[in-house]
Every structure is written in structure tokens, then in C-alpha cells.
């Protein structure tokens, strides 16, 4: 799936036949199996993301493929191995590709294909925001908005496996009871709407769990300011997305009287910063794969779409209140 200019995905993305390049000594020939459509993919096509691929570009930053053939200098991979992108910008919306070995990470074949296809972005983001900003112990709590997003679903499950309680904020919607039930089934302790953040009933939640030391923000705007009310003094808010396209507004009192910390997180930057620290990457991937094997981390709710129906998948991924990730089957 190629785009030669930036614009609305359904208008600029086209399905094209490209010739496979000759396999270099350090290259790996990969048959792609499945690749999701993430918000960052859409933003890259629109030209609004901080990281843009040179045009013409193949869409997709995430997915899983099977190695078909390797160049003679490739040491870590062999035919039959499963691989995922080591970094953003690989262009995963394709049936096959030839990539340099260092652009790929091997993943175990004993995890479900949809888990592998959605492993390198959302679960990694969830893992890092839970691990890197506050030292959380079993019994502690966190609060997050966009709790039904891919990252939000992974946060719920990883926190649950670590004994950390989650307060999960979602937008009100027509099928709210169904969404609440699904997030509770994943291990959410509390699921509330943005409106509930302003209500006195919030005090009831903190009768059974401590106030959170960590808030995870993927929305911005009013939702973020309301979440802040419930954060402990000296707590940390980590912003990793801005779905409302509105700024984060912080009352002066949060800085002066409550000494709160405000941080940002971008998985792409983390990978750049740890490019020479393969042990950190391997430890994270191993921890996530162990959770998947134990059934403690599942793929987000997915809708599987054949590659030729890509336009429908792109349009569906941009609709409001979508709680299902579109996955292209390749």
C-alpha cells in the first residue's frame, strides 16, 4: 500500500505491484502475515506526524512477518523465524519485502499472530510508561484516559499482572455498558466516563484503593485537567498522545502546592535512545511475550480485513468511538 503524496489516507493510498529487490548479503526476505492500522500510521500519511518517510512510501509501522530467505551474512535470523519491525518507518502494509537484518526483531512463533502483529508499538508503550516514571508496587494505583485504546488495553493487563490497580477513563458513548464490561474482563478495577471525573462519587473509589501516583494521558484538553485532580501530591502525569488535539492545561496550584511532575513519552524516541542497549529491548520483549504466553496480555480487540479491502479498513480506523483495531491480513 503506497502513498506518493500526503493527504487523506483513503484518497492517497493505493495498492500497487512492486518488484522485489535483489536480496543483499545483509538482507532478509520477509513474507508479511498481518499488520495493524495505528493512529500514527494515519498521521504519517496525512503528513502531520513528527516522523515522515521519504515519498513515495509504503504505509504501516507495525506488523509481523515470516522469514523466507536470508542473505549470506545474516547471522541472527533463519527461514521460518517470525520478525517484527525494530523501529518505526518499516512500511509493513505489503505482502513481501526485503529489509536489512538490523531493522528486524525476532519474536517467538508460539504467540498468537495478532499478538505478534500488535506487539511493537502499544504494548511496548504501555510497558515503558508503567515502568519508567514511578516506582509502582502491588496495591498502588494509576489513572489513565483513552482506556479503550490499544495502549490503554495493554496498560490494564500489564498493571493487573503486577498487582497495580487501574482507574480507566473513557468517553461516554451509546454502547458504554458493553465497553465497560470488556475492559473489566481485561482486568480493569474501575471504568468511568470523563464526566464522572468531576463528580463527588469519585471519593468512593478512593475508599478501597489509594490515590494514583501516576496518570497516563493520551487525550489532552479538559480530560487531562480533570484527571489531575485525583493524582497524589508529587505524582507524575505522562502524556503519550493528544487525541483531542487540545493542549494540556495545568493549574498553577498543581506545580506550587502539589509539586506534580509532567513528562512526555514517545516510543520511537525511546528506541532511538536505546539503539545501543539491546539488553533493555530484549528484557522488555521477553517480559511481554511471557505475559502473552500466560494469557495475561491479549491482542487488542481487532477486526481482520483482507489487504484488497484496505480502503474500508482505513475509513473504519478513523471513525470516532472505534474500539476495534483494523488489522490488514497480508
Active-site annotation, residues: 49
Backbone dihedral angles phi then psi of residue 26, each to the nearest 5 degrees: -105, 15
**Which residues neighbour 289 within 8 Å (Cβ) at sequence distance 6 or greater?**
107, 108, 111, 119
Distance CA 3, CA 129 (A): 32
DSSP codes of every residue in 43-109: HHHHT-SSS-PPSSEE--S--EEEEEEE-TT--S--TT-EEEESSS-----SSEEEEEGGGEEEE-T
Among 254, 298, 316, 317, smallest CA distance to 115 is for 298
Distance CA 1, CA 201 (A): 49
Torsion of Cα atoms, 142 then 143 then 147 then 153, to 10°: 0
Cell numbers found for residue 58? 509504503
User: Quick check: 148 and 170 in contact, CB under 8 A?
Assistant: yes
User: Quick check: 12 and 41 in contact, CB under 8 A?
Assistant: no
Amino acid at each position: 500500500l503506497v502513498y506518493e503524496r500526503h493527504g487523506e489516507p483513503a484518497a492517497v493510498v493505493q495498492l500497487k505491484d512492486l518488484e522485489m529487490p535483489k536480496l543483499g548479503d545483509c538482507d532478509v526476505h520477509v513474507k508479511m502475515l498481518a499488520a495493524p492500522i495505528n493512529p500514527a500510521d494515519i498521521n504519517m500519511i496525512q503528513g502531520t506526524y513528527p516522523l515522515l518517510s521519504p515519498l513515495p512510501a509504503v504505509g504501516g509501522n507495525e506488523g509481523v512477518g515470516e522469514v523466507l530467505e536470508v542473505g549470506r551474512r545474516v547471522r541472527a535470523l533463519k527461514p521460518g523465524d517470525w520478525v517484527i519491525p525494530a523501529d518505526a518507518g518499516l512500511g509493513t502494509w505489503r505482502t513481501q519485502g526485503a529489509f536489512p537484518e538490523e531493522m528486524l526483531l525476532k519474536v517467538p512463533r508460539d504467540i498468537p499472530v495478532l499478538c505478534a502483529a500488535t506487539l511493537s508499538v502499544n504494548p511496548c508503550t504501555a510497558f515503558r510508561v508503567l515502568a519508567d516514571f514511578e516506582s509502582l508496587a502491588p496495591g498502588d494505583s494509576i489513572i489513565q484516559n483513552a482506556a479503550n485504546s490499544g495502549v490503554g488495553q495493554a496498560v490494564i493487563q500489564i498493571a493487573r499482572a503486577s498487582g497495580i490497580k487501574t482507574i480507566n477513563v473513557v468517553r461516554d458513548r451509546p454502547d458504554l455498558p458493553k465497553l465497560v464490561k470488556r475492559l473489566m474482563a481485561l482486568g480493569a478495577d474501575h471504568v468511568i466516563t470523563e464526566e464522572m471525573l468531576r463528580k463527588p462519587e469519585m471519593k468512593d473509589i478512593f475508599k478501597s484503593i489509594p490515590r494514583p501516583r501516576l496518570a497516563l494521558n493520551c487525550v489532552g484538553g479538559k480530560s487531562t485537567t480533570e484527571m489531575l485532580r485525583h493524582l497524589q501530591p508529587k505524582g507524575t502525569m505522562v502524556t503519550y498522545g493528544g487525541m483531542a488535539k487540545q493542549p494540556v492545561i495545568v493549574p498553577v496550584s498543581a506545580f506550587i502546592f502539589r509539586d506534580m511532575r509532567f513528562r512526555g513519552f514517545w516510543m520511537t524516541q525511546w528506541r532511538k535512545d536505546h539503539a545501543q542497549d539491546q539488553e533493555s529491548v530484549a528484557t522488555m520483549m521477553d517480559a511481554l511475550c511471557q505475559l502473552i504466553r500466560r494469557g495475561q496480555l491479549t491482542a487488542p480487540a481487532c477486526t481482520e480485513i483482507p489487504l484488497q479491502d484496505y480502503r474500508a479498513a482505513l475509513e473504519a480506523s478513523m471513525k470516532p468511538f472505534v474500539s476495534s483495531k483494523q488489522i490488514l491480513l497480508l
